[in-house]
Structure 1
Amino acid sequence: MLIVEEMYLLLTKDHGTAGRARKYRRYGLAAAAVADLAELGMIEIAREGKDPQVTVVRAGMTGHEPLDAVLPALDSMSGQKISTLVGRSQLDPDTAVGRSLAQQGVVTEESRLLRGPRFMITSPAAEIALRERLGQVLAGDRQATLAEATELGLLKALNVAHGLLGPARGQLDRRELTRRIEEIAHGIPAVEAVKRRVDPFTASTLATVATSAG
């Protein structure tokens, strides 16, 4: 299963609402798609710089619907910084991922009048297995794959890791979980890009709350 498909499962409630991390959901999915495309050799992420450029290096399609859905738009954005790319609405693969998972029998698609389709998780086995693997990684019982490290890092970057991981986080409290994920996902470009997108909003919200409280 693609990184973007597994992220979709982690960020989607069983009854189909975007729910968890609704505000920044598309950043996480776009970043996961970028990570998949880099893994497949379709794009190249520069090795230098804190916010590296992304270059499309291969023509054609991947054969994966969620990735092929964003490739045309990404091709026209080649050379932009990765944090810019994950914020582009054209690179949001949400519907394409849902339909891919529907073809795999993991979710079912429901049409809604005047709104986009809604996808409901009907076969939770894949998400259960994913959460078990992430729990083993956090506990140190297995070495993280690049996909697992990216997924954990993206959850942290979206500020939803503690709530969404649930039992998978074991006995780790919020601070310990943050430290553990930073160890696992350190330096992954897609993760750093989402942090760049989300952190300014988080800081702004905290400042607003503090001002109101005062």
Structure 2
Amino acid sequence: MLIAEELFLLLRRDDGKPENAMAYRGYGLAAALITDLVVAERIMLSDDRDPRLKVLLPGPVGHPALDAAMARLEQRDGKKLSSLVTDGKIAREKELAEALAADGVIRIEEKRALGLFPERYPVVDPEPERRTRERLRTVLIGGTPTPADASLLAILQGLDVAPKVLEEEKGDLGKKELKRRIEEISTDVAAGDAVAKAVAAMNAAVMTAVVFPVVASGS
């Protein structure tokens, strides 16, 4: 399962509604898809404080959300990460939902009342999200994080929703302790330099986009 698919599930309740009325969910999905493409070695990020994107291998990847995100990133080759996470054409929620529905994880309920009520994505199979949450619980109490674990935690922290989304998984960790633990995890990810660098950069980029949306939207 993609990091972006796991994040999609974490940010929604089992009834298909968002965990909260967060306006910046798309920033997280864009960051997750970018990380998935770094893991796939299709793109890389520079060593700059605000990293710039470099496309390594253009073309389709084999997943509808990744293919759509990749096509957009090819158009924005060389742009700063802070501007990419706010790009709605990278956050492919529709394609992620369709892929999860095709795998039998969720069901797509179409828009109602002439579009006044948005699509909902009720969970059909809770097992994938349960496995993700169990991994995150293990990591938060001291386990070794995978790139997916570290990425998910960094993005949730950047969106400032980690305490809410991980209410059960965080155990006795308070908000400050949880933030400190996630910061530790982002430097302890068991991955190559490119992935570890991407994980570290995503937290800062998403947080900047949420706190300073006007500034972050410039490239």
TM superposition score normalised by structure 2:
0.86
In 2: Cα distance, 1:109 partner to 1:93 partner:
15
Report if the CA contact (8 A) 1:95-1:117 is conserved: no
Using the TM superposition, give the Cα deviation of residue 55 of structure 1 relative to its aligned residue in structure 2, in angstroms. Answer: 1.3
In 2: Cα distance, 1:21 partner to 1:41 partner:
34
Q: Secondary structure at the match of 2:182?
A: helix
Q: What residue is the counterpart of 1:151 in the other structure?
A: 152
Report if the CA contact (8 A) 1:45-1:53 is conserved: yes
Q: What residue is the counterpart of 2:78 in the other structure?
A: 79
Using the TM superposition, give the Cα deviation of residue 189 of structure 1 relative to its aligned residue in structure 2, in angstroms. Answer: 1.8
Using the TM superposition, give the Cα deviation of residue 132 of structure 1 relative to its aligned residue in structure 2, in angstroms. Answer: 0.8
In 2: Cα distance, 1:93 partner to 1:28 partner:
11
Q: What residue is the counterpart of 1:132 in the other structure?
A: 134
For each residue in 1:146-169, what CA deviation from the matched residue of structure 2 results, as whole angstroms up to 9, or x when unmatched? 110010111111000011101100
Report if the CA contact (8 A) 2:150-2:186 is conserved: yes
Q: What residue is the counterpart of 2:13 in the other structure?
A: 13
Using the TM superposition, give the Cα deviation of residue 2 of structure 1 relative to its aligned residue in structure 2, in angstroms. Answer: 0.5
For each residue in 1:153-208, what CA deviation from the matched residue of structure 2 results, as whole angstroms up to 9, or x when unmatched? 1111100001110110011111111110111124522222101211336xxxxxxx
In 1: Cα distance, 2:49 partner to 2:91 partner:
23
Amino acid at match of 1:80: K
Q: How does 1:16-95 map to 2 (within 5 A)?
A: 16-20=16-20, 22-46=22-46, 48-95=47-94
| Equivalent position to 1:196, from 200, 208, 211 | 208
In 2: Cα distance, 1:59 partner to 1:164 partner:
34
In 1: Cα distance, 2:31 partner to 2:205 partner:
8
Q: What residue is the counterpart of 1:120 in the other structure?
A: 122
Q: Which stretches in structure 2 are left out of the alignment for 5+ residues?
A: 188-196, 214-219
Q: How does 1:161-180 map to 2 (within 5 A)?
A: 161-180=162-181
Q: Secondary structure at the match of 1:23?
A: coil
In 2: Cα distance, 1:19 partner to 1:170 partner:
19
CA 1:4–1:27 in 2, change beyond 3 Å: closer, same or farther?
same
How many pairs are equivalent?
Answer: 199
- Normalized per residue, the structure richer in strand is 1
Q: Secondary structure at the match of 1:175?
A: helix
Q: What residue is the counterpart of 1:212 in the other structure?
A: none
- Normalized per residue, the structure richer in helix is 1
Amino acid at match of 2:75: S
Q: State the identity %.
A: 38
Using the TM superposition, give the Cα deviation of residue 118 of structure 1 relative to its aligned residue in structure 2, in angstroms. Answer: 2.8
CA RMSD after TM alignment: 1.5
Using the TM superposition, give the Cα deviation of residue 22 of structure 1 relative to its aligned residue in structure 2, in angstroms. Answer: 2.3
Report if the CA contact (8 A) 1:11-1:21 is conserved: no
CA 1:117–1:128 in 2, change beyond 3 Å: closer, same or farther?
same
Report if the CA contact (8 A) 1:7-1:151 is conserved: yes
Using the TM superposition, give the Cα deviation of residue 21 of structure 1 relative to its aligned residue in structure 2, in angstroms. Answer: 5.7
Amino acid at match of 1:53: R
Using the TM superposition, give the Cα deviation of residue 73 of structure 1 relative to its aligned residue in structure 2, in angstroms. Answer: 1.5
Report if the CA contact (8 A) 1:45-1:55 is conserved: yes
Using the TM superposition, give the Cα deviation of residue 18 of structure 1 relative to its aligned residue in structure 2, in angstroms. Answer: 2.6
TM superposition score normalised by structure 1:
0.88
Q: Secondary structure at the match of 1:59?
A: coil
